[in-house]
Structure 1
Amino acid sequence: MRITVVGAGAIGGFLACKLFAAGHQVSVIARGATLTAINENGLRLHSSDQVLVSRVTATSQAHSLGVQDAVIFAVKAPALPTVVEAAKPLIGPDTVVIPALNGLPWWYFLKSSGALAGMRLEAVDPDGRIEKAVPIDSVLGCVVFPSCVAISPGVIRHMSGSKIVFGEPGGGASQRNLDITQMFQAAGFDAHASEDIHEDIWLKLLGNACFNPVSLLVGCPTDELIDDPAIKSLFIEMMSESLALGQQIGIRPAINPEQRIGITRKLGKVKTSMLQDLEANRPIEIEAILGALVTVAERVNAPVPRLQAVYALARMRAKTLGLLPD
């Protein structure tokens, strides 16, 4: 397949390398030092004791690549509105658009049949730019669970995990979902086709909405957070609020807080994406990961006092550091 990965950071680089190694025609949209490094040395993935070097096509100009079979957006939420505009030349009537994003994506309620059907998440797409640039019928939902880090421009270290879940925004089964899932399986991913991607996204969000903002506040990796009894207790309370909110709007992942914390515990010492962004002085995607969740709670009058408190603190922390996007 002709595949372009928009964003060659930790997750984007990981996906691009594995898909290239599986024989696909892979391009990446990158810029600055990352673009230079990939063109000079290839995209490099360190996983276990192996180094995979992928000579992908790297460019900053989407129009030079033409229409693709699949486009994977692997950028942080604050950059997405600008990025999708630049990537429009890649998207044709049959292109599958796969947003590999953290938090609640802009499309989450657009084709939903639940309590908030059709709701635009203004926390992540305030003026509808993403919705206008990317046809909703081209979107295939995606949840990425692996832990990766960009150790230098164009060089990715895969820490743990290979699970990826795909699903239609409107739910149910489809041939394209099965095809994309099988393609990723053949590339070595633990890929799954879901008939309810909303629950899978909520399942990951249970962890992200806790671990990310708290790690931003205290500067610790996930294992240290879990090992602290007071913080673990806070996580259980935050996850309980998130699960209750999900129940209220018809999203019911079959998991409890202890089980969800256990999933992250198995990954070992993980620096969350927010902590990585803090250390690299990059914008913090607080709105997609926690702000959108608080907004949903406000819309349905659900009590989430701990989520609101952590959101307020983490948002102010990002603001005082100059890392809160406009």
Structure 2
Amino acid sequence: MNSVRVNLGSRSYDIALTSGDSKSVGAFVRAGLPKTTTALVVGDSNTQLHGRVLETALIASGFRTAFAPVPAGEPSKCLEQLSALYDALYGLAADRQTCVVAVGGGVIGDLAGFAAATYNRGLPLVMVPTSLLAMVDSSVGGKTGINHPKGKNLIGAFHQPAGVWIDLALLTTLPEREYLSGLAEVVKYGVILDSDFFSYLEANTRAVRERQPEVLLHVVGRCCRLKADVVEKDEYETTGLRAVLNYGHTFAHGFETLAGYGTLLHGEAVAIGMTCAATLAERLGLVGADFVSRQTDLLVALGLPTAPGHSYPTEELISVMRRDKKAVGGQMRFILPTRLGEVKLFDDVPEPLVRAVLQSH
């Protein structure tokens, strides 16, 4: 087993990188939560079978368990499903020695994580991501939350997990569209933090798309390390450093919201958003056309969209983007590249230029 350590003082935890070793998850959770006696395992129709396997492993390690099913899909990140998890925790007689084990992609992690963050003012959380996107991004760093009809992730809390268990073997059965969607966040890390990693992806595009085990281990491990480095320095997004992880997301959330949650997968929207952000950076003179084409070429080579494929009203997109979490006083702020491997936060971007970028895509 390989591991990545997230150093946050008393909230530090390990990210375990395994392959086909589900039985060991019980010992992993027990080591991280020695006093915990009960576990609520949360999964959806896509991850229920794996969740049951993990539940068996937890029982073997001395946990009393229950399983809470959630409908698959982005619409489940809502108050109704959150309330259902509260009911399940109440039915389990959950107390501070109860942990929530989130088995699934970003939707399950965000939803179950927010339930853990808020029930009894906070329960221990274990993340077991089953999608590539969740493995490299949403399961690490403590962001939890649900959507509101007016915007994505508007309701949430920071709540660090006690541990993250990644089984890379699960990626072999992930549907192609879901897998490719996760690659958008992988590319993002190269653009914002690590130009050498970006070059590695360019050189190994075929192996990445074929899900070769040794390549997946390197890719997922590197992304987790890069995100852990950022989270360690700016856990609660107070210094502005952690905001770099939202590269492309201001545009992406606009497209996701107007399309209707679930129409565009998150990674697909991020790929489109990164393309818009790169175009905006070029028009501001921050990067050259070579940067834009290089990023676009890699996204396309990895099977990702670079345009929404549907026309959305520009003013409606702008309205959603003004409510992005990075916005201040309704003023949009953007994470934009200045060179490959480096991005910065800009809060003085002319709005007409943003409109022009949206209209060009």
Fold-level similarity (TM above 0.5): no
- Normalising to structure 1: TM-score of the pair? 0.37
Task: Flag the structure with higher helix content.
Answer: 2
Greater radius of gyration (CA): 2
What TM-score does the superposition give when structure 2 sets the normalisation length? 0.34
